[in-house]
Amino acid sequence: MMKRFFTEWALYPFLIPLIFILNELRSVYYEYFSTGSIDKLIFILIIFFTNAAIYFIAYFVIKNKIKTGILVLIPLLFLDFYFDVFNYLIQFSFIKSLTDFVGFKIHWISVLVLGVFTLLLVVFLKRTKYHFLRLNLYLNIVFGLFLGVEIVKYTFTVIDKHDIKLENTIEGQLKFTRNTKSLPDIYVIIFDSYTANSSLKEYWNYENVEIQTFLKDRGFRIPSNSHSCYNETEFSISSILNASYLNVQNISEVKRSRFSDLVECYRNNKIICGLHKYGYKFSEHSIFNQQKIPNLLDFVFENLYYRTYFYLIQEKIFGLKNPEYKAVNEKIYNEVMSTEKQSVPKFNYIHLALPHCPYIFDSTGKEITDKSICSNCSNKETYEQQLIFSNKLMKEIVDHILKTDPNSIIDIQGDHGFRFLYQESKKDMTEEGFTIFQAIYLPDKNYTMIPDTIYAVNTFRYLFNAYFGTKMQILPNRTTNVIDLDEIREIK
């Protein structure tokens, strides 16, 4: 009875979306765990019913359950796992050369090939008298096993979760012993994905001299060898604002972690909590939503689709949400430029989503409207253009702060480097993700305790030791890759 059921009914077209859903929710577990169940339900419904709709449309043409299953097998795998397959095939020299030659058109060519193949298969299936019972049974069994494996893996992911915690403490170390009569405001200004000057020279052949000269003329110290400790924003910022490493050693632990743990680290960070006792108030002008930190636009929800052909259609046809992205950065900039010195000391956290992609500004600040250019994160030329515009904003912000609040501490830095050097070796691409630009301003301009090599976890340890005379321990330098670089391939 059971064998007959599995032989005569094509179940695998409905198993494929379930396999994808479980696999995808597991692969973005740490990002997605803390979001609302309504988003998960929407994602599941969209994927499942889109796949089901394709099956029933095909059934209307073929009018045979088993043949319909065979017909939609490749299209369903194509839609759901497109970039998994594409990233695998691009490793072969022929496919890589073809992709380099035709550029983004490779994705439309793949649709054309699929369309021709599907049409030929329709003709074959309508003409053939063969019933494909054994093949149907085989496919049901294979995809049933795949689903079973994904259920087990997802169960273990949920059970074997990794709780993100701080490795280090600053308890008892945040004791100011000098410069306490008139406490300075503190400005932490993050330019997202701003890479190091040395990297710009090596990989872009760009001398970032103008901004260095500008900052040095205004009394800044520019360390030449600064690094982020993590190559993703949420991890990096949580580490910086706690002056602590996180207990995450590898990508496996990241994928078993909860995004909400990072939210907790950010919201209750030790630096700001420690400054409260000195009367500091917290002011935030950043890409983070203060009610649901962090949540940059629709980053989390869209990430569920990044392996599918639907993602390609959204990014390349409808484009990124550039108006919101542009508005977010402009809003942050305008807020910062309207700040004034207050009677109580403030800790100002400023985080611009620049020069991070999408690249919507040219070097003068004019909006780039070509969506295919905006969303190509590996385009070094447009990254450089947006970085030059970021320098313009940086100058204006610095001059405003020094004019209205000259007795302030300012730390300007990237949260991570440029992560899309696909034309370089994987080693170079990984290392580049940690190199960052950094510039430090102290009111007394005494930088004898500020070294040339700074890892971001030690930023506040160096700053407070240098200016306030604290005895904070300097942590050993290390970096941890928290991104699967094979999963952020280039879309040309």
- Banded model confidence at residue 295, pLDDT cuts 50, 70, 90: very low
DSSP label of 28: T
Q: What is the pLDDT of residue 453?
A: 97
Residue 189 has pLDDT above 50, yes or no: yes
Q: Quick one: which H or E segment has residue 119?
A: helix 105-127
Q: What is the pLDDT of residue 373?
A: 78
CA distance linking residue 170 with residue 360, whole number of Å:
40
Average pLDDT over residues 315-324: 52
Angle at 230 between CA 224 and CA 236, to 5 degrees: 90
pLDDT at 321 over 60: no
**Mean pLDDT within 130-157:** 91
Q: What is the pTM of this model?
A: 0.73
Q: Chain-wide mean pLDDT for the chain?
A: 86
Dist. CA 184–CA 280, nearest whole Å: 10
The pLDDT confidence band at residue 116, using thresholds 50, 70 and 90, is: very high
Spatial distance between the Cα atoms of 210 and 203, rounded to a whole number of angstroms = 18
CB 32 within 8 A of CB 40: yes
Largest CA distance in the chain: 92
Q: In the chain, what percentage of residues exceed pLDDT 70?
A: 88
Residues listed for the chain:
492
What confidence score (pLDDT) does residue 490 get? 41
Confidence at 468, pLDDT banded by 50, 70, 90:
very high
Q: Which two tokens stand for residue 446?
A: 């005494």
**Can you say whether residue 188 is alpha, beta or left, with left for phi > 0 and alpha for psi between -120 and 50 degrees?**
beta
Q: What is the dihedral of CA 301, 306, 310, 314, to 10 degrees?
A: 70
Q: Is 218 strand, coil or helix?
A: coil
Joined together, the tokens standing for residue 327 give 């508005």
DSSP string, 293-336: SS--TTHHHHHTTTTSHHHHHIIIII---HHHHHHHHHHHHHHH
pLDDT confidence of 85, banded at 50, 70, 90? confident
Q: How confident is the model at residue 292 (pLDDT cuts 50, 70, 90)?
A: very low
- pLDDT bin (cut points 50, 70, 90) of residue 101 is confident
pLDDT at position 91 is 77
Work out the pLDDT band at 297, boundaries 50, 70, 90: very low
Q: What would the pLDDT profile of 330-353 be if each residue is shown by its tens digit?
A: 989 999 999 888 889 999 999 999
The angle formed by the CA atoms of residues 363, 367 and 368, to the nearest 5 degrees, is 90
pLDDT of residue 303: 56
What is the distance between the alpha carbons of residues 207 and 492, in angstroms, rounded to a whole number? Answer: 27
Give the closest residue to 226 by CA, choosing from 204, 256, 194, 269: 194
pLDDT of 290 strictly over 70: no
Highest mean pLDDT among 20-29, 119-128, 172-181, 317-326: 119-128
What secondary structure letter does DSSP report for 183? P
pLDDT at 80: 87
Among the listed residues 300, 367, 364, the one whose alpha carbon sits nearest the alpha carbon of residue 327: 367
For 461, the 3-state DSSP assignment is: helix
Residues 6+ apart with CB under 8 A from 148: none
What is the model's pLDDT at position 156? 81
85-93: average pLDDT: 80
Indicate if the pLDDT at residue 309 is higher than 90: no
Tokens, residue 351 = 């985080």
Place of tokens 């569920």: 304
Q: Tell me the pLDDT tens digit for each residue of 10-67.
A: 999 999 999 988 887 776 655 544 444 566 677 778 888 999 999 999 999 999 999 9
Q: Provide the CA 370 distance to its chain's centre, in angstroms.
A: 22
Phi, psi of 100, deg, nearest 5: -65, -35
C-alpha 300/C-alpha 253 separation (Å) is 19
Q: Which amino acid is at 209?
A: V
Using the structure block, give the residue that is written with the tokens 């430090």: 440
- Distance (Å, rounded) from C-alpha 232 to C-alpha 2? 49
Question: For residue 34, what pLDDT is reported?
Answer: 45
Distance (Å) of CA 439 to CA 191, 192, 278, 311, 422: 11, 14, 25, 37, 28
Q: Is the pLDDT of residue 489 over 70?
A: no
pLDDT digits (tens, 9 = 90+) for 260-287: 778 788 888 999 999 999 999 998 898 7
- Identify which has the larger pLDDT, 160 or 175: 175
Q: Is the pLDDT of residue 289 over 60?
A: no
For the segment 364-379, the average pLDDT, to the nearest whole number, is 83
pLDDT tier for residue 417 given thresholds of 50, 70 and 90: very high
Q: Provide the pLDDT for residue 394.
A: 98
Q: Could you give the domains of the chain? A: 2-159 (no CATH), 185-487 (3.40.720.10)
Q: Would the pLDDT of 294 be above 60?
A: no
